[in-house]
């Protein structure tokens, strides 16, 4: 029989540790797309949460999570359920929902499809692998605001984490010289706090647009010319952020 891993713990990546920091102490947590349930086990090992629900859609990851939870010795505090997104939850079961390691459009779709299940949820902790602006747009349109944002680099890849609670604060998206669209992409709290990795995220956004522009310029159509002009304006807007990011504000 395998031994419980209370004392040894589980391997929790830098990315998941960064996600874990935004889970409130004493929370009851649903981890949607939990994979091996490492996040919930990590939080329980550190006595950070009361317990949780690990949700998985596909049979393989569901079985992986069940096996890992059983090995951890936390079967009485983590329930593993198979289902689509937030459908695994019942009303009032959890106060915190984590969705990590998916594309931003998919996270937004999961939230939209299951938003009736969020009525008693106080905090969302979201970690999109890409398309973070889609997540922030959904939050803004549905009465949630970022209360914390962070960046972490792992394996040469930059990840962002967004913690959100109910509320409205339109001033968050009015922070010149960044535009509203740029703040949705960069993160309004990251823009305000200016962590070191934000300059790397800015450069990625700028470089991506420059790469697309070089491809579009090879086109000979009027549509290609219009798209090139649009990209040139976007690139100029992103370049204007350089001074704010790389120089100290007064």
Any idea what DSSP says for residue 24?
A: P
| 219-249 pLDDT per residue, tens | 778 888 899 999 999 999 999 999 888 875 4
Q: What is Dmax (Cα atoms) for the chain?
A: 69
Beta strands in the chain (DSSP E): 27-32, 49-56, 78-82, 96-102, 123-128, 144-154, 157-166
Q: Where are the domains of the chain?
A: 14-174, 200-246
- Which pair of structure tokens corresponds to residue 21? 């920091």
- Which pair of structure tokens corresponds to residue 60? 């393989």
Report the top-level CATH class of 14-174. Answer: alpha beta
pLDDT of residue 35: 87
What residues are paired with 117 via a beta bridge? none
No. of helices (H) and no. of strands (E), the chain? 10, 7
- Which pair of structure tokens corresponds to residue 147? 């209360």
CA distance 218 to 230: 15
Long-range CB contacts (within 8 A, 24+) of 154-160: 154/13, 154/14, 154/15, 158/197, 158/200, 158/201, 158/204, 159/15, 159/18, 159/127, 159/129, 160/127, 160/128, 160/132, 160/187, 160/190, 160/201
| 132-159 pLDDT per residue, tens | 999 999 999 999 999 999 999 999 999 9
Threshold 0.85, pTM exceeds: yes
């Amino acid at each position: 029989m395998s031994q419980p891993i209370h004392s040894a713990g589980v391997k929790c990546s830098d990315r998941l540790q960064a996600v874990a920091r935004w889970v409130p102490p004493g929370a009851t947590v649903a981890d949607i797309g939990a994979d091996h349930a490492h996040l919930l086990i990590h939080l329980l090992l550190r006595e950070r949460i009361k317990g949780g629900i690990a949700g998985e859609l596909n049979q393989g990851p569901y079985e992986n999570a069940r096996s890992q939870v059983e090995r951890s010795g936390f079967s009485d505090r983590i329930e593993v359920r198979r289902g689509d997104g937030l459908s695994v939850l019942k009303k009032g079961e959890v106060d915190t929902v984590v969705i990590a390691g998916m594309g931003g459009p998919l996270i937004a779709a999961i939230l939209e499809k299951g938003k009736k299940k969020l009525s008693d949820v106080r905090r969302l902790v979201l970690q999109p692998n890409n398309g973070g602006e889609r997540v922030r747009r959904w939050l803004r349109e549905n009465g949630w605001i970022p209360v914390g944002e962070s960046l972490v680099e792992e394996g040469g890849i930059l990840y962002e984490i967004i913690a959100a609670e109910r509320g409205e604060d339109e001033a968050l998206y009015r922070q010149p010289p960044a535009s509203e669209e740029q703040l949705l992409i960069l993160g309004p709290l990251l823009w305000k706090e200016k962590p070191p990795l934000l300059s790397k995220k800015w450069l990625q956004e700028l470089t991506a647009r420059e790469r697309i522009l070089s491809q579009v310029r090879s086109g000979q159509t009027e549509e290609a010319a219009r798209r090139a002009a649009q990209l040139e304006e976007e690139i100029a807007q992103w370049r204007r952020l350089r001074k704010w990011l790389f120089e100290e504000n007064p």
